[in-house]
Amino acid sequence: MKNKAKIITFIGVLGLLIGLLSFSYIKGGKEKVLINLISKTIQFNHFENIKIDNDYSKKVFEMYIENIDFGKRFLLKSDIRKLEKYKNKIDDEIENQTFDFFDLSIELIDKRQDEVAEIYKEILATPFDYKKEEYIELDPEKREYPANKKEVYEHWRKYLKYSALQKYASLIKQREDADIKNDTTYEYKDDKTLEEDARKDILKTYNEWFERIEQLNRDDHFSVYMNTISSVFGPHTQYYPPKAKEDFDIQMSGKLEGIGATLQQNEGYTKVMKIVPGSACWKQGDLEVEDKILKVAQGDETPVSIVDMRLDDAVRLIRGKKGTEVRLTVEKIDGSIQIIPIIRDVVLIGETYAKSTIVTDKDGTNKIGFIFLPKFYADFNNRNGRRCAADVKKEVAKLQNENVDGIIIDLRNNGGGSLQDVVTMSGLFIEEGPIVQVKGRRTKKHVLKDPDKKIQYDGLLLVMVNIFSASASEILAAAMQDYQRAIVFGGKTTHGKGTVQQFKDLDDAVRDNQIKPLGVVKITTQKFYRINGGTTQLEGVTPDIIFKDPYSYIETGEKELDHVLGWDKISVAVYNQLERSYDYDKVVANSYKRMENDSIFEIIDLNAQRLKKQRDITKFSMKLTDYQNEQLERKESIKEYNKIKKIETNLKFSLLEDDLILMKTDTILKVSYETWQKGLQKDKYIKEAVFIMGDMQ
């Protein structure tokens, strides 16, 4: 009866909403429909009961100003003061479907961008003095908005000078390299010519950038405003206009020919969020999660800057036909700049499936099964399609037939996927019981349980994770940890995404076809909770044994996003912890002792500290010699770390008998497995995982 009442209430609200929208359209147009519909749809469906009040208004104001002028490059202090009159009134404008704040913001930003468009060419027309002692602060949070046009000019002079300095230093380095190699094809140019070429290159970049700005229309600005209104509810709650929905979670993989990375726009930069296993960039190996893509070049053509470029436009430059080359200029997490050439290809779908191997130490005393699971995949459109739970079950059976002493499941960089499959998969390792709890705002908690009482594998188990293990990966790791079924071995924590999102099609609430399509909103509707009651949201899963990695001292993951949902706890599910067959404290202590005395882990730790230190530096010299020395120091400091990447472990990896039989007729599969195993040979973390399993025995 209660559920029926809820359904009736929702239908009533939706009906009222449709009536309001029809009236709004007649009275004021599509924008009124959208702001009313988006705000009410999110408010009604979102996990948290967030009120659209003055506090909400302030958050929208701050986030929106940052969105339209990240870097404080255009708006004046006086502009901010004008806009601040609406700081506590945006909630009222949403309620009344008025746009005074939005209209003023567009008027001001358009005016200031037009003014800058008149000065950047003038600045770049004159040579820069790179012998002068001068500095630039690149962190906008450490700078104020300019007070007048003179300060705007000065900021842009420094900004363009630093951009030209980077290009100038690069051209000098190319000349030096050509001289060292005695390259007779290189056209020698003196310093004056190279400095001029650098300015011309930057001029071309900003000509293209301001051309893109001129093409922006009111709909583009309005999408930013609506997305800000949505995103204040949480980073995973977003508005997608019809065109943007087509590019949702852009993945240059699958049927698309490209590099194989998931990208996201963050503070004006196109950032790598995920590398797709089996993709072109995965094979090439240099592109990494957290890299910022600054420029894109088609082969040896002139690179195009994609800073501040719309994500869909940036992706169109990166995508391309199989066999063609794209060169990405990226900024690494330590601030160093690297050009990465990638030959575009179609992702080998087989690379995304679960696979296994047998690993033994140099003494041959430990025979461990190793299962690699890059994502929790499932073919929802085909009942007989591939599912990761079924595939992992097969891999476990194959390893059992080989009489392994234990199994390692590698979930590093696994961003999650099918909830049903992670529940079923977890059930392979326990007899029965709950796996995860799910709760919505208006619903009681729902406990998802192991679907059967069978236990496929009851031997020693270790789960590997890192900061990029998210969602379903965190559910499996948490369940195994709570049951004391496995040791979790990984970075300082997992990603911390413990929320569920749903899409709501806005067209469903509108009768008038004249204003369709309106797009969709993605809304956070539920949270995941461990069986011990705590959510995986924000805090993620803390491993039993923590290893050092490049992100050990850098804050990343869910907690670094704006307006994230917090950690909380609900009631504990009914479950029984299993009794360990080994001395847990001793196993943990032995592992830490080994890593502390391992020179490779010491280098990894020192490199992580270096990355943290360099990431915190935001003020830079614009003197050529200082810049060159700084780049040289960065290159030298990373050399030692790059050495250990090439060092192979003493581990031996053997293919399973079933896979060897398949490879006799499938040469592509054979090459794929051999390439995979070569990579495993250099994985220091797997080596320590094998030692841990030896202690568990």
Q: Which residues are catalytic?
A: 471, 482, 497
Cα distance between residue 327 and residue 300, in whole Å: 8
Task: Name, in order, each residue with C-beta under 8 angstroms of 139's C-beta and a sequence gap of 6 or more.
Answer: 618, 619
pLDDT for 547 equals: 97
The length of the chain is: 697
Omega prior to 517 cis, within 30 of 0: yes
Judge: domain 238-343, CATH 2.30.42.10. Answer: yes
Q: What's at 269, amino acid-wise? A: Y
pLDDT for 381 equals: 75
Cα distance between residue 290 and residue 97, in whole Å: 38
pLDDT for 349 equals: 60
How is residue 484 annotated by DSSP?
A: T
Q: Which residue ranges make up each domain of the chain?
A: 1-45, 52-232, 238-343, 353-433+451-497+539-565+575-696
Q: What's at 13, amino acid-wise? A: V
Given the DSSP bridges, would you call strands 261-266 and 269-275 parallel, antiparallel or unpaired?
antiparallel
Give the position of tokens 């993951």: 557
Report which of 367, 415, 360, 363 is spatially closest to residue 388, judged by C-alpha positions: 415
Helix (H, G, I), strand (E, B) or coil at 399: helix
Exposed e or buried b per residue across 273-306, where buried means at least 16 C-beta atoms within 10 angstroms of its C-beta: bbbbbbbbbbbbeebbbbbbbbbbbeeeeebbbb
Q: Tokens representing 635?
A: 């290159």
Angle in degrees, CA 660, 662, 667, rounded to 5: 95
Task: Name, in order, each residue with C-beta under 8 angstroms of 105's C-beta and a sequence gap of 6 or more.
Answer: 64, 65, 68, 83, 225
Exposed e or buried b per residue across 219-238, where buried means at least 16 C-beta atoms within 10 angstroms of its C-beta: eebbbbbbbbbbbbbbbbbb
pLDDT for 290 equals: 86
Task: Name, in order, each residue with C-beta under 8 angstroms of 640's C-beta and a sequence gap of 6 or more.
Answer: 603, 606, 607
Fold (topology level) of 353-433+451-497+539-565+575-696: 2-enoyl-CoA Hydratase; Chain A, domain 1 (3.90.226)
Question: For residue 340, what are the β-bridge partners?
Answer: 328
Half-sphere exposure in the Cβ direction for 356 (13 Å, CA): 26
Dihedral (CA of 93, 96, 99, 104) sign: negative
Q: Tokens representing 204?
A: 């071309």
Q: Count other C-beta atoms under 10 Å from residue 356's C-beta.
A: 27
Cα distance between residue 489 and residue 685, in whole Å: 9
- Helix axis angle for 149-180 and 191-215, nearest 10°, is 130
pLDDT for 21 equals: 44
pLDDT for 17 equals: 45
Q: Tokens representing 273?
A: 């969020």
pLDDT for 347 equals: 64
Cα distance between residue 310 and residue 304, in whole Å: 13
Helix (H, G, I), strand (E, B) or coil at 19: helix
Give 45-67 as a DSSP string: HSSS----SHHHHHHHHHHHHHH
For the chain, residues with pLDDT lower than 50 are 1-28, 248-256
8 A C-beta contact, residue 696 and residue 368? no
pLDDT for 309 equals: 81
Burial of 42 (0-12, 13-18, 19+ CB in 10 A): buried
